[in-house]
Structure 1
């Protein structure tokens, strides 16, 4: 029998203190973000504390976190004069659910992959992501063994993954009882000045790049057009050891860990899909521009500060060359700076940024996102760091997240989705590549 969840409570948690009212203008990057909620899960092992993830402690610390992150207690709104979406700081609160599940943590960790079944089991349901919807949904699920799953579903128009991690780190710090004034490592206050990413005034506006990632994708010319983007996918979590990551980087001189890993995944995906040598394959990525802008954004910038980028090659070029070639291609897709970001913001000023194409990608392509560096230990609510964290759902086939592996120093976890018929061959090809790294 499949595990089931029983909802215990469902309520709205409001900020613990009065918060600023009014509306917050959203940047073009916020408008261009995927219109929907991003569901993530955090698995925690029981630690013997009778107060482990007590609902009143979690709920009380959430109320205090919403004081600093008050937009999350608001609602998605619309400027009546311009029709532009915005955040209305109403202080109405976040949805907070507690539930009980007959999974044990070890069973869950063996079976978990991001998919609709797991999302529906562990993440609270969300409404259509349109005004006047709530922006944050939280669920605490108590497992049979005493462990806990904490799930968040946050509206993507409000912030990106880095911003969501910032909120969670602040919430966890409050739950631990940290003294923010005395703790040098306390999370910095959030910054909601999204006009830092406003388009330049008319005469100064300059679109210097093409930005194809924000335009409808043409039908593939070589790969069978009937095998285009699909909601049907198989997902997997694959761990690379510290030694394997080091050996791979040694084969990709000058490449970052993310670029080296993505290069290997991209190459193996082309092989598993048996793409014709002349087929174009495109690597899409999302780049955090906070530190790349001139001047950089404030450390606590909470909105969407990522831009979509891409680079293309033929399948024959990727498969027929050493891995360093694919890594150099990945570098070309992930090295953009201030001029690129400002060009994109200016470009979005001239299009309908609220209705950009947001569908999946052709099965010839791959989308890779880095969550490396989002430290799991900072999600310690006082009862220990998570045993796992990751997305609860993959949106379509051809998606890969690269992140730090929990409880394994220096290791990486790859969370990916592929066509169901492609995944077995990918696992085989990728395992062979990992084995070859181990003998170097």
Structure 2
């Protein structure tokens, strides 16, 4: 049980601009949902451990350069989402729980974790908040920091950058406001061209790949791979496996195991969707501190028989082909395509995927554990909840030992087999 002790709004410590912030087409078609994450901190008896006063004060300072996040998501006259930079503030919840840090030893994202340790929200639809925080003090003295960020406003890299700056200010790592790295909020850099030029087939985006019911029965697991186990998987990916990325090798392997565990027929078509960060694929690249959505979806396709009967190298090659087509011109063509789409809002609903599909997201290399608020690094950072069946997330091990955590959500009748053969097939 979690008891809410306090719920307040933290506003910027200085007056901030009041205006409307235009959002790009890449923002329009992403999830109309919050991304809930949790950070776990073990207390070592530090004085004023996770002081609410310190956190609120530093958050107020961080919200000066990041002032749009203190506003609200709105709609313009054409029904497009935009940010109303009102300075209304960021919800900050303080709670306590009878749980201990050790209760999270076998952590897996779930509805229960989301409901207990991420801040509550009334709606994902405008008008609504953009970010919120919940600090939950545990019986053992530890803390769970829950964060939600609205996906229409921030992708994972943007949200993590905000947390990085917020935590640095709190621990005294940035004690001068002039030293705060400035976020880049001008989304017009991703505007459609005045003369739309669609040179590629983007019809895959004409329908929503997600099923509408995200609450369909599914289970979530976190499977850990050591550095040696990752190399074992890479060794199955052809003679030149030294050039195969960790993401592609592991996801191709997960793709194969999921096809087996789901009992799919050999002639079924199976789809692997991936989120691709386009920041450095554009010419020129986006500014380093761009705050918004800069990812798009691509798809690798094969028959189940092809995936199951071959080594993961086949999946790696299909993934490589799907990812390499995301060039500067492809992204610009895609943005132009979205400008001609009649129903962008209809593409934003999220839920589980069909039984033949997976959606893989890489958090490898992202600063997910770079959240030292002055009391040490988190023991764990993870999503509090996944969208539903078929979602796969890859994250670096917090021990920085070269390991990877594989977070997978599958149907209840598939998960047992998946977990059993995941290590056996290696």
- Does residue 191 (structure 1) correspond to residue 180 (structure 2)? The answer is no
Equivalent position of 2:344 in the other structure: 353
- The structure-2 alpha-carbon separation of the partners of 1:376 and 1:25, relative to structure 1 and needing over 3 Å to count, comes to closer
Matches within 5 A, 1:401-412: 401-412=393-404
Which residue, 53, 77, 96 being the options, matches 1:100? 96
Equivalent position of 1:124 in the other structure: 119
Aligned counterparts of 1:187 and 1:231: Cα–Cα separation in 2: 43
- Does residue 375 (structure 1) correspond to residue 367 (structure 2)? The answer is yes
- The structure-2 alpha-carbon separation of the partners of 1:301 and 1:367, relative to structure 1 and needing over 3 Å to count, comes to same
Aligned-pair CA distance for 1:423: 0.3
Which residue, 398, 409, 418 being the options, matches 2:410? 418
- Does residue 274 (structure 1) correspond to residue 263 (structure 2)? The answer is yes
- Does residue 241 (structure 1) correspond to residue 226 (structure 2)? The answer is yes
Cα root mean square deviation, aligned: 2.0
Aligned counterparts of 2:205 and 2:346: Cα–Cα separation in 1: 14
The question of whether the paired residues in 1 share the 8 Å contact of 2:210 and 2:353 is answered with no
Matches within 5 A, 1:150-229: 150-179=145-174, 188-202=181-195, 204-217=196-209
Equivalent position of 2:273 in the other structure: 284
Aligned-pair CA distance for 1:36: 1.4
Judge which range, 45-54 or 420-429, deviates more.
45-54
Equivalent position of 1:342 in the other structure: 332
Judge which range, 39-48 or 332-341, deviates more.
332-341
Aligned counterparts of 1:229 and 1:91: Cα–Cα separation in 2: 33
The question of whether the paired residues in 1 share the 8 Å contact of 2:31 and 2:348 is answered with no
Equivalent position of 2:316 in the other structure: 327
Equivalent position of 1:87 in the other structure: 83
Aligned counterparts of 1:237 and 1:213: Cα–Cα separation in 2: 30
Aligned counterparts of 1:171 and 1:237: Cα–Cα separation in 2: 28
Equivalent position of 2:286 in the other structure: 297
- Does residue 138 (structure 1) correspond to residue 130 (structure 2)? The answer is no
Aligned residues: 418
- The structure-2 alpha-carbon separation of the partners of 1:211 and 1:353, relative to structure 1 and needing over 3 Å to count, comes to same
Equivalent position of 2:14 in the other structure: 17
Aligned-pair CA distance for 1:179: 3.3
Residue 58 of structure 2 aligns to a residue whose secondary structure is helix
TM value normalised by structure 2? 0.94
C-alpha deviations, 1:230-253, integer Å up to 9, x for none? Answer: 632100011101111123223322
Equivalent position of 1:387 in the other structure: 379
- The structure-2 alpha-carbon separation of the partners of 1:75 and 1:363, relative to structure 1 and needing over 3 Å to count, comes to same
Which residue, 286, 295, 315 being the options, matches 1:306? 295
The question of whether the paired residues in 2 share the 8 Å contact of 1:119 and 1:392 is answered with yes
The question of whether the paired residues in 1 share the 8 Å contact of 2:234 and 2:244 is answered with yes
The question of whether the paired residues in 2 share the 8 Å contact of 1:190 and 1:300 is answered with yes
Residue 188 of structure 2 aligns to a residue whose secondary structure is helix
The question of whether the paired residues in 2 share the 8 Å contact of 1:166 and 1:187 is answered with no
